[in-house]
Amino acid sequence: MSGNTTQRLLRLSISFYRNPGKTGAEAYDFATNTRAVQAAKINAKHGIYAYVQYFSPESTRGAIEDMNKRLNRGWVVDDHDMTVEFYFRSFGELNKVTNDPDFQALQAKEEPYVNRKNTVVSLGWVETYVENGKVVNIRDDKSTFGTWEESSDISTAMLR
């Protein structure tokens, strides 16, 4: 990397709706007390940097819709119920997770709780600049992350 020292962190984000046959509370209970518990162990075993679940029920979407209207932003508010994020340095780590028989069994268990129709997936990299209330990854008034060319070239993450 061009003299910069901060290693790129990739993020795979998967947003989906809950199965309409389940209440928000039922889906949340499964996600936090079954899926998160098992997925955390599997992801840690295979070197995933971080695994995150976040929830956006109607109450939080309503709050952001109100802010959108009040500030006249014109935002498109994502209406998915839950998002799962995997943070990793190489696709080798992610492949180990997806090929793990325990992970595959966990995905089968979640079927009654999720509606895979209109799932949205995104892949990108993360640049953190404030962490725990402190400025990070800035040196001499410049970002310590790589150039656009270095960061957007994911071929190096594919090789590992």
Q: What is the pLDDT of residues 136-155, one digit of tens each?
A: 999 999 999 999 999 999 88
Please name the residue that has the structure tokens 């819709």: 65
Token pair for residue 134? 């402190």
With a cut of 90, say whether residue 6 has pLDDT above it: no
In percent, the amount of the chain with pLDDT more than 70 equals 96
Query: Could you report the per-residue pLDDT of 34-83, keeping only the tens digit for each?
Result: 999 999 999 999 999 999 999 999 999 999 999 999 999 999 999 999 99
pTM for the model: 0.90
pLDDT at residue 156 in the model: 78
